[in-house]
Structures are given as C-alpha cells and as structure tokens.
Amino acid sequence: MKAYLRLAGGLGNQLYQIAALALIAERTGLKPSVVVDGLHRYASARQPDVFRLLAPEWSKTICRSDLARCLVDGARIGRVLPLFGINDRNFWAAADRSPGRWPMVMDGYFQVGWSLGHLQRAIDLLGPSSIDSEEVSAADDECAIHIRGGDFLKVPLHQVIDHSYYSHAVQRAVGSGWKRFVVVTDDRSHAESTMELVCGASRVIQWRMAAGTSDALLDFERLRRAPARIIGNSTFSWWATALDERRGKTWAPLKFTRERHRDFFLPWEEIIP
C-alpha cells in the first residue's frame, strides 16, 4: 500500500509537502509515492527541485503509474475522498492513525500545526544535503536579506509585506550589530527599489546584491549558510532558515499569506509585526 502525494508549488511548498509525507509514511508504514505532474501546469512551470536537496532515495518515490497520476493530479481525489484523502484540514489526525491498511492520497500544503519535534523528525527522515558550489559561499560578517519578486508579487494572497517591513527588520539587525548586508533575490529590479527605500528610512548600511543565478537551489543555499538573515513571507527562505544547522538569528514576518497568522515559529526567529 502507498501514501500518494500531489506535489505543488515552489521549493518551499514542496518541502512542507514532502515533510508531511515522510511523517505519514513513517507512522502508517505506507510506501511514499510522489506525483509531480501538476508542477508543469503553472504559468511558469515549476520543477521538482526538492529531490535535488533530499537524500537520494526520495527521488525514487516519483510515481510512474499512469492511473495513480490521473487520480491524484487529474481528479484530485485527495481533496474529496473522506476515507483516503489527506488535506490541510485532517492532516494531523491522519498522522495519528494506526498502521495503514489502505492507500492514502495527500493533497494540500501542510503548513500549519507543526511543532519543533515534528519538524526535526521530518528533517531527519528527509536527510537534506547541502549544495556544493563556490557560488554560494557566505561571508561571516554579512546578514542576508531575501526579497521575493517576480510573479509572487502579482498574487493578492501574498501581498503581506512591503519596504517598511524590511526597514524595521534592518533596524533590528543593525541593533544586533550587523552592518553589512547581502541581498538574495529572484527579481533584481524589485529588490533594488526596495533597498533604496530601506536605506532612505534606516541608518546608513552597506549592502550588495548577490550574484544572479538561474538555479533557485543556489539562492536557497546562500540563505541557508548565512550567519543571520532577514526573510520575507516566503516558505522558500523559511525552509532555508529551518535547515540552518547553526540556527543563525533570523528576522521574519508574522504571516506567510494574508489569510492567517503563522502558528509555528523556530526558536531562532524574531518576529517583525
């Protein structure tokens, strides 16, 4: 029997989903199987980047069954079947079930209800690795700032923070002794305009733009290796924070989306209202 997961979104969303799948599979004894077909339906097609970051055996969980892919991604049965479907509403109840005697189908983002213990166990099961590249070396005297742009800015649900949030976060970082900053972004134009406003509202700071890259995992690794960081309302940069073994000081927003406040914070996060 298998636990199927419909993979969706970018790397941050994918990490939440695979982490949830790992916990379900361990608890129920079901074999994990990941359906990736839906990633190609976005306006800007996503890639299953999560498998490049996790232990090699996870790449073997990609589902090859045409019938399963049709039901999980095409029919979205994980959202509607009360007995087999696991979504954001019933995930933690499903995680407490006894060993599985029937397949499960997971269809959700699984971003609420976590504890530090749940997260750490999921990370242990995922076995995430680091990206080995000279392009992602981090300076010990630079605090990273992640500014998300591009199509993220066009979704009203994600319009949670603006330059004033970054100004407050930079002021907190300066108060903690940080004087140099490096900006990691997928949208240099938006990041530059944001930093111009930040510099106008904050004390004099030194900042630079990280070298551009077409590989999102390199930016992820930059954020992960930073000795301290300011993140936006992005699960991408939040997971880089969560996988930071040094637990570097992180300034973060209260919300990921406009719908609700976050319900779980890492001990090394300082929240900026």
Q: Is 229 left (phi over 0), alpha (psi -120 to 50) or beta?
A: beta
61 and 108, same domain (yes or no): yes
Q: Return the pLDDT at 134.
A: 67
Question: What is the distance between the alpha carbons of residues 80 and 61, in angstroms, rounded to a whole number?
Answer: 23
Q: Return the pLDDT at 155.
A: 86
140 and 265, same domain (yes or no): yes
Q: Which of 103, 126, 149 is the last residue before a domain boundary?
A: 126
121 and 139, same domain (yes or no): no
Q: What is the dihedral of CA 267, 94, 57, 217, to 10 degrees?
A: -40
87 and 140, same domain (yes or no): no
Q: Return the pLDDT at 158.
A: 87
Q: Which of 78, 97, 126 is the last residue before a domain boundary?
A: 126
Residue 220: CATH number of its domain = 3.40.50.11350
Structural domain span for residue 114: 2-126
Question: What is the distance between the alpha carbons of residues 38 and 57, in angstroms, rounded to a whole number?
Answer: 22
239 and 173, same domain (yes or no): yes
92 and 219, same domain (yes or no): no
76 and 45, same domain (yes or no): yes
Q: Return the pLDDT at 33.
A: 98
18 and 114, same domain (yes or no): yes
CB 46 within 8 A of CB 268: no
221 and 168, same domain (yes or no): yes
Provide the whole-model pTM: 0.93
149 and 240, same domain (yes or no): yes
273 residues of the chain, pLDDT tens digit each: 899 999 999 999 999 999 999 999 999 899 999 999 999 888 777 899 999 999 999 999 999 999 999 999 999 999 877 778 999 988 998 877 666 678 899 999 999 999 999 999 999 999 998 877 666 777 889 999 999 998 888 889 888 999 999 999 999 999 999 999 999 999 999 999 999 999 876 666 899 999 877 788 999 999 999 999 999 999 999 999 999 999 999 999 999 999 888 999 999 999 998
Q: Which of 88, 103, 126 is the last residue before a domain boundary?
A: 126
Tokens at residue 233, please? 């309302």
Task: Count up the domains in the chain and report the number.
Answer: 2
189 and 148, same domain (yes or no): yes
What's the CA angle centered on 215, arms 23 and 262, to 5 degrees? Answer: 45
139 and 268, same domain (yes or no): yes
